[in-house]
Amino acid sequence: MEKTLSIIKPDAVAKNVVGKIVDRFESNGLRIAAMKKIQLSVSDAGKFYEVHAQRPFFGELVEFMTSGPVVVMVLEGENAVSKNRELMGATNPKEADAGTIRADFADSIDANAVHGSDSLENAKIEIDFFFAGREVL
């Protein structure tokens, strides 16, 4: 069993497709171990995406992630990290396979509907960033 972090980004929250996205996870063997809707501050988003701080898209990424509420979740299941990434599809929705979350709900590489941890090691760091141990059930 693995745990991974998922974020439903401001574009998908604004489109009111949170339930449809959660259904993709639940219908594919992942369980919601924690979930909350929050508004990220510039400081939160900057810290969360610190690894991208030197990338040219960092400013736009922070601006977008703070443009409206997000839903953050801990997903649990067998191979949860890779399963979540498979369900999300490629970062750029134009390259995402048909039937993936990003192919179906995302508009652009910035407004790409969801974030998912890219490794088990980062999943732990990202889960701890958003949730206290007692919130993960």
Given the residues 24, 83, 102, 115, select the one marked as catalytic: 115
DSSP secondary structure string for all residues of 53-101: TTSTTHHHHHHHHTSS-EEEEEEEETTHHHHHHHHH--SSGGGSPTTSH
- Whether 52 is catalytic is no
Tokens at residue 131, please?
Answer: 């949730």
Select 104 or 110, whichever has its Cβ closest to ligand CMP. 110
Four-residue CA torsion sign, 12, 16, 20, 22: positive
Instruction: Decide: 89 and 82 in contact? Cβ < 8 Å.
Output: no
Q: Which residue is nearest to ligand CMP (CB)?
A: 115
Please list every residue from 91 through 130 that binds ligand CMP, using CB under 6 A.
91, 109-110, 112, 115
Neighbouring residues of 121: CB distance < 8 A, sequence distance ≥ 6: none
Q: Taking CB under 6 A as the rule, does residue 57 contact ligand CMP?
A: yes
Rounded to a whole number of angstroms, the minimum distance from the CB of residue 49 to ligand CMP is 6
Neighbours of 77 (CB within 10 A): 19
Rounded to a whole number of angstroms, the minimum distance from the CB of residue 57 to ligand CMP is 4
Select 22 or 117, whichever has its Cβ closest to ligand CMP. 117
Select 62 or 137, whichever has its Cβ closest to ligand CMP. 62
Phi and psi for 109 in degrees, rounded to 5? -65, -30
Rounded to a whole number of angstroms, the minimum distance from the CB of residue 64 to ligand CMP is 7
Cα 91 from Cα 77, distance rounded (Å): 22
Select 91 or 119, whichever has its Cβ closest to ligand CMP. 91
So which residues are the catalytic ones? 115
Contact residues for ligand CMP, defined by CB under 6 A:
52, 57, 61, 91, 109-110, 112, 115
